[in-house]
């Protein structure tokens, strides 16, 4: 059994169709069918039921697919571990962040680390809506400024930054000139949200439920900051954001007002590997936050 066969199996399960899976994998459908039959023969079980619309995993297939996903994730972690050591030897540190990151701390930390380690290339990697934590788990970055709440299981982390939240409104909105707003002042406004982030993350940002037990009035979804702000500026909905976003993403048609009665954003510095570059970056961030 090879990892290639397991990747084939997982892709077939995701696509639920051999033709689509073959296109995704850039192999021919006959070759994929042949590989699947060989795997079923090797395991001695049928993994999929075939039907006119495609394929459906059998009960045995569901179990094998679940184990295949775990095995592939572990294989990816092995590759990521090797990559971390290779980058340490060649002098590369990948730093993840989201939108405005941890405010000025994000840029200062990268700049000062680069000055202190001129032989190291610091690569900033931006992610949207909770993606920085997933990137750490997947080995896409070495260390990251993570907006909480987030899944930091098996990661080292420490809180390095907090900042209040603000509400983004179109400039013509009746509340756009207020000095501050409570969550109940905007409870009836449609609120931008995303389907790309974990639900716990979405609910925290939306303050769901509200103090009176009500749910937010959900507005349109978005995939990134730019899409969110474009829809707010055109008057489609409002949004909640950290106060640093009000400085980093000022634009015509958009007003930012402090949200006065919700807990602030907490940003954690998180990493999975204790390599020398990661430890040096973490130590620098600690010094900057003292």
Note whether 223 and 278 are same-domain residues: no
- The answer as to whether 77 is a domain residue is yes
- Domain-terminating residue out of 22, 51, 81: 81
Cβ–Cβ < 8 Å for 187, 267? no
Domain of residue 149, CATH code: 3.40.190.10
Asked if residue 211 and residue 172 are part of one domain, the reply reads yes
Q: Is residue 74 part of a domain?
A: yes
Domain contains 121: yes
Report if residue 195 sits inside a domain. Answer: yes
- How far apart (Å, rounded) are the C-alpha atoms in residues 27 and 144? 36
Residue 83: predicted pLDDT: 67
In the prediction, which pLDDT does 84 show? Answer: 59
Please check whether residues 199 and 138 belong to one and the same domain: no
State whether 44 and 75 are in the same domain. yes
Output the furthest CA–CA distance in the chain (Å, rounded): 70
Tell me, yes or no, whether 26 and 69 share the same domain. yes
| Within-domain flag for 45 | yes
| 211, 183 Cβ separation under 8 angstroms | yes
Phi first, then psi: give them for residue 200, nearest 5 degrees.
-60, -40
Q: Check residue 273 and give its pLDDT.
A: 81
- Residue 45's domain is classified under what CATH number? 1.10.10.10
Asked whether the beta carbons of 53 and 17 are under 8 A apart, the reply is yes
Dihedral sign from CA coordinates of 128, 134, 138, 142? positive
Q: Are residues 210 and 134 in the same domain?
A: no
- Any domain includes 115: yes
- Same domain as 248, residue 200: yes
Regions of the chain with pLDDT less than 50: none
| Same domain, yes or no: 175 and 198 | yes
| Same domain, residue pair 249 and 173 | yes
Q: Residue 53's pLDDT is what?
A: 84
Quick check: is 86 in a domain?
no
On whether both 141 and 282 belong to a single domain, the answer is: yes
Rounded (5°) CA angle 80-84-87: 130
- Domain around 283: 91-160+266-289
Q: How many domains is the chain partitioned into structurally? A: 3
Residues 276 and 153 in one domain: yes
Q: What is the pLDDT of residues 254-286, one digit of tens each?
A: 999 999 999 999 999 999 887 889 999 999 999
Smallest CA-to-CA distance from 261 within 209, 214, 203, 207 is with 207
Strand 254-258 with 143-147, pairing: unpaired
With respect to residue 223, please indicate whether it lies within any of the assigned structural domains. yes
Chain-centroid distance, C-alpha 112: 26
Where is 18: in which H helix or E strand?
helix 18-25
Do 103 and 141 sit in the same domain of this protein? yes
Cβ–Cβ < 8 Å for 258, 181? yes
What's the pTM?
0.70
């Amino acid at each position: 059994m090879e990892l290639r066969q397991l990747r084939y199996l997982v892709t077939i399960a995701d696509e639920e169709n051999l033709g689509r899976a073959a296109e995704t994998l850039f192999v021919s459908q006959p070759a994929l069918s042949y590989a699947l039959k060989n795997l079923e023969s090797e395991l001695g079980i049928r993994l999929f039921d075939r039907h006119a619309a495609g394929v459906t995993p059998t009960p045995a297939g569901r179990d094998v697919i679940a184990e295949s996903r775990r095995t592939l994730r572990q294989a990816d972690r092995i590759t990521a571990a090797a990559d971390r050591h290779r980058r340490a030897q060649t002098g590369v540190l990948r730093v993840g962040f989201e939108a405005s990151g941890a405010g000025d701390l994000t840029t200062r930390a990268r700049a000062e680390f680069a000055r202190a380690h001129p032989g190291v290339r610091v690569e900033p990697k931006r992610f949207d809506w909770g993606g920085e934590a997933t990137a750490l788990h997947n080995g896409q970055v070495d260390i990251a400024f993570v907006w909480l709440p987030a899944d930091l299981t098996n990661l080292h982390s420490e809180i390095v930054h907090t900042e209040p939240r603000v509400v983004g409104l179109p400039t013509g909105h009746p509340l756009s000139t207020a000095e501050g707003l409570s969550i109940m002042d905007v409870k009836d406004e449609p609120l931008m949200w995303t389907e790309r982030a974990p639900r716990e993350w979405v609910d925290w940002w939306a303050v769901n439920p509200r103090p009176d037990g009500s749910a937010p009035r959900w507005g349109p979804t978005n995939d990134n900051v730019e899409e969110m702000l474009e829809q707010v500026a055109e008057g489609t909905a409002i949004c909640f954001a950290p106060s640093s976003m009000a400085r980093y993403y000022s634009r015509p048609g958009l007003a930012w007002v402090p949200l006065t009665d919700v807990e602030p954003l907490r940003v954690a510095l998180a990493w999975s590997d204790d390599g020398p570059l990661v430890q040096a970056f973490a130590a620098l961030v600690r010094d900057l936050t003292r």
